[in-house]
């Protein structure tokens, strides 16, 4: 670490180079990269690893639209294309399957204006995704690979096939990530961050942890911590957005592309399971329970993909996504707290980019200069604060 803080372990119960707060997909990746770089790392999780938004059902790894290319889209493209090798390495290390498949995505064209835009997007993907070299394409086709997936009446103008999209099983992925760090990172569950000053973090269980750097990757609960450390309302840093999803039992070909239509995803996972979601709710009374809004999404999904029309629901789930004020991931050292780094706010795309963002976080923690899109930097978010 550059300029390590000097401290006396006698004043703390535990000490480490890096303390990660939060055991979601982002925190686990940060801990993994830290351990791989030889940092003595502790991860604290207020509940159980995977009990936040990352413990859900969907696991869509979806690229941004290929036109209007910018640093954010390039970052995501590189993340999505580098993920399969990293997943394979974790699977080999742990013997656990992450449920990853580059399944591609089908998007019905149901409006003339969408069909026109899709033509431009095809050309943009060819250039920005380097289709001739990478093979990743955004094509317009008349018929889906399997009749009824999606229903013909949902796609009067054909459909777009995006071959870059993939899916991963969120819970299997988290279990494998956890297993991959268990022997190198001290994971402490049921222990929440409460406060920090001068490199010492105090936890809900009364522990004092002396840390060279602390990374706040507590999902949407990072925003109140920022308010506590920097002043201001939690909402001026970001907000939770509720999402509801469901898991159905259906024996379908697990190579089927995922279907995306008007905000609704239908994703075939391994083992006869199909995930459907999700809602996007800015206002909610009951953050972790499902309601009629999920039934509406389920009805839509069943009309879209009649193959799941009679499939029984085996789980209904709701969670809160972290959406930072600048709408992009939020990464950076805190003003006046250079030993504290914020890492949150991936909103709907975190699963596809957490590994690459985590590498940037560790670059930052070790005094490097990460190649981050400007819009991800904490300073850029501060400009959007009201
Ligand atoms: C219905 C739904 C569907 C989604 N679908 C997709 C999708 O298909 N693809 C995709 O990429 N993204 C999707 N997302 C978004 C994605 O789940 C989140 O962006 C992602 O999980 C955020 O990961 P995280 O690690 O930042 O936060 P989290 O997973 O929320 O992890 C934060 C952790 O920090 C812990 N914590 C909180 N406070 C403290 C504290 N004080 N001390 C210690 N620990 C603390 C929490 O318990 C939690 O475990 C979806 C979200 C929802 C709700």
- Hey, where are the domains in the chain? 9-55+172-238+326-383
> In the structure, what pLDDT confidence band is assigned to residue 3 with cuts at 50, 70 and 90?
very low
344 CA → ligand 1 middle, Å: 9
* 3-state SS class at 208: strand
Specify the residue with its C-alpha closest to ligand 1, atom 42.
Answer: 192
Q: Which residues line ligand 1 (CB under 6 A)?
A: 21-27, 44-47, 51-54, 56, 58-60, 192-193, 217-219, 221, 243-245, 277-278, 319, 321-322, 344, 346-352
Specify the residue with its C-alpha closest to ligand 1, atom 13.
Answer: 348
Give tens-digit pLDDT for 195-215: 999 899 999 999 999 999 999
7 CA → ligand 1 middle, Å: 32
Specify the residue with its C-alpha closest to ligand 1, atom 25.
Answer: 24
Atom of ligand 1 nearest to the CA of 347: 19
pTM exceeds 0.95 for this model: yes
What is the reported pLDDT for 346?
Answer: 86
Atom of ligand 1 nearest to the CA of 267: 8
Specify the residue with its C-alpha closest to ligand 1, atom 46.
Answer: 52
To the nearest whole number, what is the mean pLDDT of the chain?
Answer: 95
Atom of ligand 1 nearest to the CA of 345: 26
Give tens-digit pLDDT for 89-98: 999 999 999 9
**For the chain, where are the E strands, in sequence order?**
14-21, 41-45, 60-61, 105-108, 138-141, 159-162, 166-167, 185-189, 193-197, 200-203, 208-216, 238-249, 258-261, 264-269, 273-277, 313-324, 330-334, 337-344
Question: How much is the average pLDDT of 36-63?
Answer: 98
What is the reported pLDDT for 139?
Answer: 95
In whole angstroms, give the CA distance from residue 171 to residue 99.
9
152 CA → ligand 1 middle, Å: 35
Q: Is the pLDDT of residue 2 over 70?
A: no
Fold of the domain built from segment(s) 9-55+172-238+326-383 = FAD/NAD(P)-binding domain (3.50.50)
Please answer whether residues 176 and 276 qualify as being in contact, where contact means their C-beta atoms are separated by less than 8 angstroms.
no
125 CA → ligand 1 middle, Å: 29
User: Long-range pairs for 308-315 at CB < 8 Å and ≥24 separation?
Assistant: 308/248, 308/250, 308/252, 308/266, 308/274, 308/276, 311/248, 311/249, 311/250, 311/274, 312/248, 312/249, 313/246, 313/247, 313/248, 314/247, 314/248, 314/249, 314/273, 315/57, 315/246, 315/247
What is the reported pLDDT for 386?
Answer: 65
Give tens-digit pLDDT for 351-370: 999 999 999 999 999 999 99
Atom of ligand 1 nearest to the CA of 317: 1
> In the structure, what pLDDT confidence band is assigned to residue 230 with cuts at 50, 70 and 90?
very high
Question: How much is the average pLDDT of 138-159?
Answer: 94
217 CA → ligand 1 middle, Å: 9
Give tens-digit pLDDT for 241-274: 999 999 999 999 999 999 999 999 999 999 999 9
Give tens-digit pLDDT for 265-313: 999 999 999 999 999 999 999 999 999 999 999 999 999 999 999 999 9
Q: Where does residue 110 rank: exposed (0-12), middle (13-18), buried (19+ CB within 10 A)?
A: middle
What is the reported pLDDT for 7?
Answer: 47
Angle between helices 71-94 and 112-128 (to 10 degrees): 70
> In the structure, what pLDDT confidence band is assigned to residue 54 with cuts at 50, 70 and 90?
very high
What is the reported pLDDT for 11?
Answer: 73
Atom of ligand 1 nearest to the CA of 352: 11
Specify the residue with its C-alpha closest to ligand 1, atom 33.
Answer: 22
The rounded percent of the chain whose pLDDT value lies above 70 is 97
146 CA → ligand 1 middle, Å: 33
Query: From its phi and psi, is residue 348 left (phi > 0), alpha (psi between -120 and 50) or beta?
Result: alpha
57 CA → ligand 1 middle, Å: 12
More confident site: 284 or 12? 284
What is the reported pLDDT for 95?
Answer: 98
203 CA → ligand 1 middle, Å: 20
Atom of ligand 1 nearest to the CA of 244: 1
334 CA → ligand 1 middle, Å: 21
In whole angstroms, give the CA distance from residue 217 to residue 21.
5
């Amino acid at each position: 670490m550059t300029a390590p803080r000097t401290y006396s372990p006698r004043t703390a119960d535990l000490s480490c180079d890096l303390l990660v707060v939060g055991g979601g997909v982002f925190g686990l990746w940060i801990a993994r990269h830290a351990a791989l770089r030889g940092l003595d790392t502790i991860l604290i999780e207020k509940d159980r690893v995977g009990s936040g938004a990352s413990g859900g059902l969907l696991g869509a790894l979806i690229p941004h639209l290929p036109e209007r290319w910018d640093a954010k889209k390039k970052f995501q493209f590189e993340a999505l294309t580098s993920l399969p090798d990293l997943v394979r390495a974790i699977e080999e290390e742990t013997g656990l399957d992450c449920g990853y498949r580059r399944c591609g995505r089908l998007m019905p064209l149901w409006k003339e204006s969408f069909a026109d835009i899709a033509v431009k997007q095809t050309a943009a993907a060819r250039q920005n995704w380097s289709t001739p070299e990478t093979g990743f394409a955004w094509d317009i086709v008349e018929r889906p690979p399997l009749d009824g997936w999606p229903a013909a009446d949902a796609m009067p103008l054909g459909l777009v096939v995006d071959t870059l999209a993939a899916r991963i099983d969120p819970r299997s992925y988290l279990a494998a990530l956890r297993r991959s760090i268990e022997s190198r990172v001290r994971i402490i569950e049921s222990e929440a961050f409460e406060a920090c000053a001068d490199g010492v973090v105090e936890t809900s269980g009364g522990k004092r942890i002396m840390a060279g750097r602390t990374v706040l990757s507590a999902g949407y609960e990072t925003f109140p911590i920022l308010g506590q450390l920097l002043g201001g309302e939690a909402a001026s840093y970001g907000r939770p957005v509720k999402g509801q999803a469901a898991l159905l039992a259906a024996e379908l070909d697990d190579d089927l592309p995922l279907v995306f239509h008007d905000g609704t995803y239908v994703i075939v996972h391994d083992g006869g399971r199909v995930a459907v979601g999700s809602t996007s709710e800015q206002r909610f009374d009951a953050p972790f329970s499902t309601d009629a809004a999920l039934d509406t999404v389920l009805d839509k999904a069943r009309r879209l993909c009649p193959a799941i029309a009679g499939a029984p629901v085996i789980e209904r789930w709701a969670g809160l996504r972290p959406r930072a004020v600048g709408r992009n991931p939020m990464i950076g050292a805190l003003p006046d707290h250079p030993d504290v780094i914020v890492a949150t706010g991936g909103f709907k795309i975190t699963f596809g980019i957490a590994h690459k963002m985590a590498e940037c976080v560790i670059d930052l923690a070790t005094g490097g200069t990460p190649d981050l899109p400007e819009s991800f930097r904490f300073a850029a978010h501060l400009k959007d604060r009201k």
